[in-house]
Structure 1
Amino acid sequence: MISIKTKLSLWLTVLVLLSSLVGLGFIETMLRQAFHDSIIDRLHEDLEQIVLASHISNDDILIDSSQLSGFYNPAYSGRYYQLNIGDIEVRSRSLWDKHLDITPLAPGETRVWQSKGPQHHDIQLFSKGLPPISPGDNNPTLTVAQDLSIGRKVFTEVYGAKLTVNVTMLLVMLLGIFIILRQSFKPVNKVKHALSRLREGHSSSLSLESVPAEIKPLAETYNELLEYTSNQIQRSRNNLGNLSHGLKTPLAVMRQQVEVLGLKDPETAAALEQQLDQIHKMIERKLAAARITGDMLPAAQMVIPRDLESLCLTMNKVHHQKQVDHKFDISEQVPRLPIHREDGMELFGNLLDNAYKWAAEMVLVRIWLQQGEIQISIEDDGPGVPDDELDNLTHRGKRLDEDVAGHGLGLSIVKDICEQYQLQISFERSPSLGGLKVLIQMPKH
C-alpha cells in the first residue's frame, strides 16, 4: 500500500506540473495574440499615415515620402506599402523589384492576412479599400505589410527567457514540495521509531514530546490503552498468584492427611494423591497462561541480545574461576523472543549456567529464523552427554542430574517452561564445539 507521504508527493507533483503546463500554454497564447494585435495596430497607423501623405488625382498619383517613416526607403527593410488603382501600382522603395499580390477591395473594406514576401519571409498584410477618384474608376486599394521574422525572433527570445524562468521555478517548487513533506513527516517518523522501540521492549509507552498535534490524541489514546491493558494483565496475574498461594496451604494439609490415610487405606490415598497432583498441575498451567498473556505487551518480552548479554555477564561472575568466552550469532530478524522476560531469564539462565559449568573455553549462542520459527541453540565445548543418554533427557519428569551424575542442569524447570509456551526442546552433540547442544524451536508470534 502506498504511503501518505508518497501519495502527497505524487499528487502535488502532478498538480504543479499540470498547472505549470496550463499556465505556460495560456501565457504563450496571450503573448502571441498580443504580438499579432500590436502588428495590426501598427499597420493600421501606417496605413492612415500613408493615406494622409497620398495625393491622388486624374492626372497624377503622388505619395509624399517625406511624411512617412524612413523604414520604407531601404530595400527589403521589412516595412512595405503598395497602392493599386486599376493597372496602376505604386510601391514603396523598400519593395524594390517585388510586388504584393493584392485583391481589390470596396471602399471602406479591410482585409488582414499573412503571405510570403520579399526574400521568402513571412509578412503580415493589411489592406483597405479607398474611395474612387471619379465615378466608374476601379476601386483604389492601399496595402501595408511588415516582415514577421524580426518580431518572431524577439518573441522567441522573450518566450524562451520566460520558459527558462518558469522551468527553474517549477524545479524549485518540486524541490520545495519534497523538502516540506520530508520536514512535515519527521515527527511521524519519530512516532514510528517510538513504536519500534515499544515493540522491541525498550520503552513501555509512547513519548508525547515530539508528536504532532494532529496525531497527539491518537498517541495519548494508545498510551491509555497500553496502561489499561498492562493494569488488567497485572491484576489478572496477581489474582492468579494470590489464588495459587491461597491454595498451597490447603493442598499441603490435604497431602498430609493423604499420607496418614495411606497407612490405613493405600488405594484410596493413591487415588486422592492423583487428584491432588491434577489440581496442582492445573494451578501451574493457569499461572503459566497468565505469564504468557504478558506477550501482548512487547515491553514484557525478552529483548535480544540485551538480555542474553546480561545473563552471560552474570555467568562470568558466577563462574569467575574459569576463563569462558561467549559468542553470539543472532539474526537481525529476531529482535525479541515471544516469551515473558521473567520466564526467558529463568529458562536461558539454567541453560547458560549448565553450559558455563561444563564448558572448557567457549559457549556459543545462535538464534535464527527458519520457516517461520525461531531456532535457538546453546552449545559448549565441554565433555557433553553420551549419545545413548541424549534421548533420556527429554523424558517427562526426568532431571538431567538424575540421568548424568553431577550435571545439575535443572531440567525440570527448563521442561516446565517449554511446556507452558509449547516450545520444542531437544539435545544433541555440538558438531562445531563437541560438547552438549540444546536446540529450542519457538513459534514466532
Structure 2
Amino acid sequence: MISIRTKLSLWLTGLVILSTVVGIIFFESMLRQAFHDSIIARLQEDIEQLMLATHLQGDELTIDQSQLSGFYKPVFSGRYYQLNLPDQEIRSRSLWDQKLDIKLLEKGDSRVWQTKGPQNHDIQLLSIGLSSDSLNVDATLTVAQDLSIGRKIFTQIYGTKLGVNLAMLLTMIAGIFLVLRQSFKPINHMQSALSKLREGEITSLELNKIPPELQGLASTYNELLQYSSKQLERSRNNIGNLSHGLKTPLAVMQQQVEALGLKDPDTAIALQKQLDLVHKMIERKLAAARITGDMLPAAQMQLPKDLNDLCQTLSKVHFHKQIQCNIHIPEKLLRLPLHREDGMELIGNLLDNAHKWAKSRVEINASIEDDVISLIIEDDGPGVASEELAQLTSRGKRLDEATMGHGLGLSIVKDIAEQYEIDLQFTHSERFGGLKINLTF
C-alpha cells in the first residue's frame, strides 16, 4: 500500500505540474493574441499615415514620401505598402521588385489576413477600400508587416517565460517534498517512540510530543497497552495464586504419603514420585510468572538481556546441577522478531529442556546474515537417538520418564514456531554430544 506521504507528494506534484502547464498554455495564448493585436494596431496607424500622405496632383494620386516613416525606404525592410488603382499600382520602395497580391475592395470595406510576402516571409496585411469623388475612381490601400522579427521577439519572451516557469515548477516540487518531510517528522518521532516501546525502553507514548492530529490515536493506544498490561498482570497473579493455593493440599498429601510409607512403602514411593512431579510443575509455572510478569504487551524479546534472565531463572530452578549457561550474541542483534512473552515461552521451554538434560553446560549462539536470524541452543547431555528426534515436538511425548517434566513444553514450542513461521530443527550437537536446536527467524 502506498504511504500517505507518497500519495500527498504525487497528488501535489501532479497538481502543480497541471497548473503550470495550464498557466503556460494560457500565457502563450494571451501573448500570441497581444502580439497579433499590436501588429494590427501598428498597421492601422500606418494606413492612417498613408492616407494623410496621399495627395491629388493633377489627374493623378501620389504619396508624399517625406511624410512617411523611413522604414518604407530600405529594400525588404519588413514594412510595406501598396496602393492599387484601376490603371496603376503605387508601391513602397521596400517592396523593390515584389508586389502584394491584393483583392480590390469596395469603399469602406476592410480586410485583415496573412500570406507569404517578400523573401517568402509570413506577413500580416491590412487593406481598406477608398474612393475619390473628384477623380471618380476606386482604390485599395494596403499596408503589411513582416512577422519574422516579431516572432523572434515572441519566441524569446515565451522562452524566457517558459524557463522561469520551469524553474518555479522545480522549486515548488522541491518545496512540496521539503514541507511534507518536515510535516511528517512528528510521525517519524512517533515511530521511534513505538520502537522504544517495543524494546521496553518506555511504558507508554508521551502525548505532549505527538501532534494534535495523532494524539487521539496515541491516547487510545496507551489505553490498550494499559488494559493489556492489566490482563497480563491478572493472569500472572492467577497463576501465582493457583500455584500457592495448591501448596497446602500438597503438604497435606505429603504428610499422608509419609504416613502411608510405614504401612505400604511401594505405594508411598509411587505417590511420592507424582507429588514431586506436581511440585516441579508448580515451580516452573511460578518461575514463568516471575519472568513474564513485568513485560510490556507490545515489547519484543531483547537480546541478550532476556536470555540472561532466562538462564539465571533456570539456574535457580535446576540449582542442584550447577549448569553453566554461555550466551554469544552479536552486538548488532538487539532483539528477536516475535512477541516478548511468546519468545520467553518458546526459548524458555527449549532452555528448560536443555537444563534438564545437560550435565554441566548449555551454549546459546546467535548470528544474523541478510536479515535472517539464526539462534542455536546446545547442551552436553546424552542427546536423542536419530529415530526419536521427530518425536520431540509431539504433544505430551516424553522420551525419558525418569527425567521430571510434563511433556508439553516442546510441543508448545512447535506451536509458537508455526505461529511466527520460525524454522525449528533438532539435530545432534557435534561440539558437546547432546541435543542441538536451531531456530531460524
TM over 0.5: yes
Q: Secondary structure at the match of 1:203?
A: coil
In structure 2, C-alpha distance between the alignment counterparts of 1:310 and 1:240, rounded to whole Å: 20
Structure 1 residue 244, shift from structure 2 partner:
3.0
- The one-letter code of the counterpart of 1:212 is P
Deviations 1:161-180 (A, max 9, x none): 11111111111111111111
Matched, 1:438 2:436: yes
The two structures, once aligned, show a CA RMSD in angstroms of 4.8
Task: State the secondary structure of the residue aligned to 2:192.
Answer: helix
Q: What SS class does the counterpart of residue 140 from structure 1 fall into? A: strand
* 1:100 equivalent in alignment to 2:100: yes
Partner of 1:226, secondary structure, is helix
Contact 1:302 1:344 survives alignment (8 Å): no
* TM superposition shift of 1:59: 0.8
Alignment of 1:135-154 (within 5 A): 137=137, 139-154=138-153
Contact 2:311/2:325 (8 A) holds in 1:
no
Partner of 2:35: 35
- 2:420 is aligned to none
For 1:59, the equivalent position in structure 2 comes to: 59
1:121 aligns with 2:118: no
1:97 is paired with a residue whose SS is coil
Q: Secondary structure at the match of 2:247?
A: helix
Q: Which residue of 2 aligns with 1:385?
A: 382
For the Cα contact (< 8 Å) 2:429–2:435, is it kept in 1? yes
Contact 2:75 / 2:96 at 8 angstroms: preserved in 1? yes
Q: How does 1:419-430 map to 2 (within 5 A)?
A: 422=415, 428-430=427-429
Structure 1 378/63 Cα, relative in aligned 2: closer, same or farther at 3 Å? same
- Change beyond 3 A, Cα 1:339–1:436: farther
Question: 5+ residue gaps in structure 1?
Answer: 404-410
Further displaced range: 58-67 or 94-103: 58-67
* Deviation of the 1:207 alpha carbon: 3.4
| Alignment of structure 1 residues 107-186 onto 2, 5 Å | 107-134=107-134, 137=137, 139-186=138-185
8 Å Cα contact 2:122-2:148 kept in structure 1: yes
Q: Tell me, yes or no, if the aligned pair for 1:429 and 1:437 is still in contact at 8 Å.
A: yes
Partner Cα distance (2:235, 2:306) in 1: 26
Q: Is the 8 A contact 1:72 1:93 kept in 2?
A: yes
Given residue 42 of structure 2, which amino acid in structure 1 is its aligned partner? R
Q: Give the match's secondary structure for 1:379.
A: strand
Cα distance in structure 2, aligned partners of 1:386 and 1:275:
25
Distance (Å, rounded) in 2 between the aligned partners of 1:67 and 1:349:
113
Q: Does 1:208 align with 2:207?
A: yes
Q: How many angstroms does 1:342 deviate by?
A: 6.3
AA in 2 matched with 1:227: Q
Following TM superposition, by how much is the alpha carbon of 1:79 offset from its aligned partner in structure 2, in angstroms? 0.8
Q: What secondary structure sits across from 1:214 in the alignment?
A: helix
**Which aligned pairs between 1:271-350 and structure 2 lie closer than 5 A?**
297-299=297-299, 302-308=301-307, 327-328=328-329, 334-336=336-338, 339=341, 347=349
Closer, same or farther: CA 262–435 of 1 in aligned 2, 3 Å: closer
Query: Which runs of no fewer than 5 residues in structure 2 stay unpaired?
Result: 418-423
SS of the residue corresponding to residue 131 of structure 1 reads strand
- The answer to whether the 8 Å contact 2:207/2:219 transfers is yes
**Residue 89 to residue 368, structure 1, CA distance change in 2 (3 Å):** closer
Mapped contact 1:198–1:205 kept (Cα < 8 A): yes
Distance, in Å, in 2 between the alignment partners of 1:246 and 1:89 is 128
CA distance in 2, matches of 1:119, 1:166: 35
Tell me if the contact between 1:379 and 1:436 (Cα under 8 Å) persists in the aligned partners. yes
* Distance in 1 between residues matched to 2:425 and 2:11, nearest whole Å: 56
Identical amino acids, percent of aligned pairs: 52
TM-score calculated relative to the size of structure 2: 0.77
Could you tell me how far apart the structure 1 residues matched to 2:119 and 2:266 are? 130
- Distance verdict in 2 for CA 1:133–1:127, change over 3 Å: same
Q: Distance in 2 between matches of 1:12 and 1:43?
A: 46
SS at 2:212's partner residue? coil
Separation in structure 2 between the aligned mates of residue 235 and residue 388 of structure 1, nearest angstrom: 42
> What SS does structure 1 have at the residue aligned with 2:82?
strand
Matched with 1:5 is 5
Shift in Å at residue 438 of structure 1? 3.2
Query: Is residue 378–residue 439 contact of structure 1 (8 Å, CA) maintained in 2?
Result: yes
Give a deviation string over 1:186-206, Cα, whole Å, max 9, x none. 211222232233334443322
Matching residue of 2:421:
none
Deviation at 1:327, TM superposition (A): 3.5
Matching residue's letter, 1:36:
H
Pairwise CA distance, 1:254 = 4.3
What TM-score, normalized by structure 1, do the two folds share? Answer: 0.76
Give the aligned length: 420
Task: Tell me by how many angstroms 1:86 deviates.
Answer: 0.7
Counterpart contact for 1:130–1:140, Cα < 8 Å:
yes
Equivalent residue, structure 2, for 1:408:
none
